[in-house]
Amino acid sequence: MALVLRRLGRVELARSYLRDIRNNNDYFHFAVGKTTAWTDDTAPETPIDSDNYISAFRRSIMFTQRIDSADICMLSKRLNWTSGTVYDEYDDAYSSTNKAYSGAESLADANFFILTSEFKVYKCISNNSNALSTVEPSSTGTAVFELSDGYNWKYMFTVSASDQNKFLDADFIPVRKLTGNPTHDVTGEVDSISISAGGSGYTSAPTVVIAGDGTGASATASISAGAVSSVTINTSGSGYSFAFVSFVGGGGANAEGTVNLGDADSLPAGQSAVEGAAINGTLDRVVVTNAGQDYAQGDAVVSVTGDGTGAEASAYVNSATGAITEIRVTNPGSGYSYANIAITNTAAPGTNATARAIISPQGGHGSNATRELFASNLGITVNFSDNDNKDLILGNDFRQLALMKNLKSPAGATYTANTATGCHIINVASTSLAKYAVDDIITTNDGGSFQVIQIDSTNNNIYLTAEIPLISNSSTLTNTTKSESNLSINSVTNPEIDNATGEVVYLDNRAPIIRSADQVEQVKALIRF
């Protein structure tokens, strides 16, 4: 049986991941690991898709950071507008027998949309019979427009400054859908809650109550020394133009906070208007497939039939040969999923002319940019910047980065916090710190084997990743790298996550990246479907 996964099916796969993250149906984290060098650190090895290889990565996990809705975006291929280039025109019937100018045999592979120097994205509706594009489009209106070089363009959206910074690169452009159903980027969502007063007397975390004109936002409070210290957003909600937060229960009082809403200005400019103005099933162009003969200008009549209404077109005839040279759409109509073109003559004996209709995509041009531009890739960008709680390891390098779905805590609950340490943390006497160094191999009398990842001299803590996670408060340690034995410890804190849980969706091997307290690493990943 011959089967094909349509390119739009791949778009749906990418969209499903985006939905899961935005709606907290599943929880995704970037996991960071591997401090030991590659055979050649300038040329990382290719990851192997095997349980054994993934297991080795799991044992090396240093820390994780959760991915939220602001960290992910669907991506399409990037094609920069360049003067003197022939761009493919939109055609709903590209195939092996009807190739685009570029040679593409499908619309998904055709070069029919471009990014301008102003970071505006346009679809080419007509390329003036494969002419050179010499005028860069700039209009942001909702209608198809023609330039002096004969090209017809449809404005789609402008890539926002924030999306340029987080997701735009040499090969891909970020693509969003702003309105309708499904909606992937929501204005008026709750981004964060700032604590203006921690209150006092809290013996347990109070319930966070978010009130406003939107729906769906929820959050969880954390306390420290009887006061509310922070709030973690669980779901961002949507539709908020204002919101207030209150803290209920927990045995304390007087905690106060401020709700910070999403910034509508960061979303692609003008795109909502484009989506709203889209007309489903318009007749874009009519292509003459056989010019015929013996037609007369003014007598040749073009009839459009199909499941839509209102489409009209006119034929133009070569007076010398009687051949149909062009058919122009005079009314695009609406509601067509297919259309048939018939050419007749009222007086002259014209015969044999044929033509085919090119219909706009489902919903109309501009209605769903992710679908229309075949955004079958996901861009994920995360800033590793949480240095205060020591979850995000400093002073060591990492070489592997993984996207993990639904990590569990050691108790078996889905891990939902922003960051987590994957390390065992041992507390030692200050006089023992010198017996440890980053990347040393440590064994225990229990049969455990560990690697030193970070040394926190302020708190006398040693961070360890576990090859064999056998250790307890009563363990004695041997530093095999330094030949130091009978090392005692004060206590052991276990990892916040169970590294053996969760699905590894994506694994990337990289040249070493060193973290330090005075920098923020922006880590980008691309998932292609």
Three-state SS letters, 52-99? HHHHHHHHCEEEEEECCHHHEEEEEECCECCCCECCCCCCCCCCCCCC
Per-residue confidence band for 519, with pLDDT thresholds at 50, 70 and 90: low
Q: In Å, how far from its chain's centre is CA 68?
A: 11
Write down the pLDDT at residue 213: 76
Write down the pLDDT at residue 259: 83
> Is 1-69+371-420+499-529 CATH 2.60.340.10?
yes
Write down the pLDDT at residue 272: 82
Write down the pLDDT at residue 266: 46
Which spans in 203-282 are helix H?
Answer: 271-277
Write down the pLDDT at residue 384: 76
Determine if the peptide bond prior to 349 is cis (ω within 30°). Answer: no
| Measured distance CA(413)–CA(409) in Å, rounded | 5
pLDDT at 465 over 60: yes
Strand, coil or helix: 431: helix
pLDDT at 435 over 80: yes
Integer Rg of the chain from CA:
30
List C-alpha distances in Å: 499 to 31, 455, 466, 492: 10, 21, 10, 17
Q: What is the pTM of this model?
A: 0.76
Instruction: Using alpha carbons only, give the angle 509, 513, 518 rounded to the nearest 5 degrees.
Output: 150
* Secondary-structure breakdown of the chain: helix, strand, coil percentages, each rounded to the nearest 5: 10, 40, 45
Write down the pLDDT at residue 90: 97
What are the residue boundaries of the structural domains of the chain, listed by start? 1-69+371-420+499-529, 79-168, 190-266, 282-358, 423-494
Write down the pLDDT at residue 517: 61
pLDDT mean over 333-352: 91
> Is 282-358 CATH 2.40.10?
yes
Per-residue confidence band for 183, with pLDDT thresholds at 50, 70 and 90: very low
CB atoms near residue 481 (< 10 Å)? 14
Per-residue confidence band for 265, with pLDDT thresholds at 50, 70 and 90: very low
pLDDT at 155 over 60: yes
Per-residue confidence band for 251, with pLDDT thresholds at 50, 70 and 90: very high
Write down the pLDDT at residue 10: 81
| Measured distance CA(90)–CA(87) in Å, rounded | 10
pLDDT at 190 over 50: yes
Regarding predicted confidence, which is higher, 270 or 508?
508
Regarding predicted confidence, which is higher, 234 or 489?
489
pLDDT mean over 362-372: 93
List C-alpha distances in Å: 504 to 31, 32, 51, 393, 513: 9, 12, 10, 21, 21
The sheet that has 283-290: what strands, in order across it?
300-306, 339-345, 354-359, 283-290, 324-331, 312-317
If you ran DSSP here, which 8-state letter would residue 163 be given?
H
pLDDT mean over 362-376: 93
List C-alpha distances in Å: 51 to 56, 234, 504: 9, 32, 10
Q: What percent of the chain is predicted at pLDDT more than 70?
A: 91
Write down the pLDDT at residue 23: 67
pLDDT mean over 272-279: 89
Q: In Å, how far from its chain's centre is CA 515?
A: 24
pLDDT mean over 62-84: 92
- Tokens representing 345 are 């003559």
Write down the pLDDT at residue 3: 46
Query: CA dihedral in degrees (200, 201, 205, 208; nearest 10)?
Result: -50
